[in-house]
């Protein structure tokens, strides 16, 4: 953990840049949500309620939710990791961060505007917000690692072998956190369905 904190301090400018780009994505997602029509809100609400009813009826167990969450997260992590090993990392990783922020901003704002603040937070907190509080710093760390490696390769001022090993270690840490987060979401989702 100490190494991670030192790494973030060392490359805080890049880390802050990744976070700011992510925040821009959230703002874009919020702005788009405010422009959706009432018919679209009704469709989104129907979709969410149909999905929740389907989960309740099929008694979706923790293993299925764990697997789905893990696979969704690991795909994103692998894309960020692979891009970090290429010369196009800087540009593409920033676009991915905007995309991830956009989705988060859109989903949170849409659910809050459709279900209201109280019911929306009850729905979002156990699944979406709690997961992202833990997972987003890891994504930012992996994205920062990829961007730093990319800059070093382009400027030819790094030991590529050392940077690749460091990038792989950060990916392993991200995978470990993904397992924890996926289990947490699976547990909270099945628990939450009993109260909705």
Domain ranges of the chain: 2-55+62-193
pLDDT of res. 195:
54
CA 50 to CA 6: how far, in whole Å? 46
pLDDT of res. 152:
76
Tally helices (H) and strands (E) across the chain: 8, 0
Mean pLDDT by 10 residues, the chain (196 residues): 71 88 93 84 77 62 79 92 83 91 88 80 72 85 87 74 86 92 78 59
CA 65 to CA 59: how far, in whole Å? 11
Q: Are the CB atoms for 94 and 18 separated by under 8 Å?
A: yes
pLDDT of res. 48:
73
CA 169 to CA 37: how far, in whole Å? 45
CA 3 to CA 108: how far, in whole Å? 33
pLDDT of res. 44:
77
């Amino acid at each position: 953990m100490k190494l991670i904190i030192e790494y973030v301090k060392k490359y805080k400018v890049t880390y802050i840049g990744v976070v700011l780009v992510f925040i821009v994505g959230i703002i874009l997602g919020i702005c788009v949500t405010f422009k959706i029509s009432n018919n679209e809100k009704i469709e989104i609400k129907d979709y969410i309620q149909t999905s929740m009813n389907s989960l309740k009826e099929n008694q979706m167990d923790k293993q299925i939710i764990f697997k789905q969450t893990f696979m969704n997260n690991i795909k994103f992590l692998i894309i960020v990791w692979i891009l970090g090993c290429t010369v196009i990392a800087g540009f593409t990783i920033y676009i991915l961060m905007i995309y991830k922020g956009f989705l988060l901003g859109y989903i949170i704002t849409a659910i809050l505007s459709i279900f209201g603040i109280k019911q929306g937070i009850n729905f979002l907190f156990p699944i979406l917000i709690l997961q992202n509080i833990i997972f987003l710093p890891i994504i930012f760390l992996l994205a920062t690692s990829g961007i730093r490696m990319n800059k070093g390769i382009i400027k030819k001022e790094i030991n590529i072998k050392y940077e690749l090993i460091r990038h792989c270690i950060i990916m392993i840490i991200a995978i470990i956190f993904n397992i924890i987060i996926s289990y947490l979401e699976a547990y909270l989702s099945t628990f939450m369905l009993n109260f909705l």
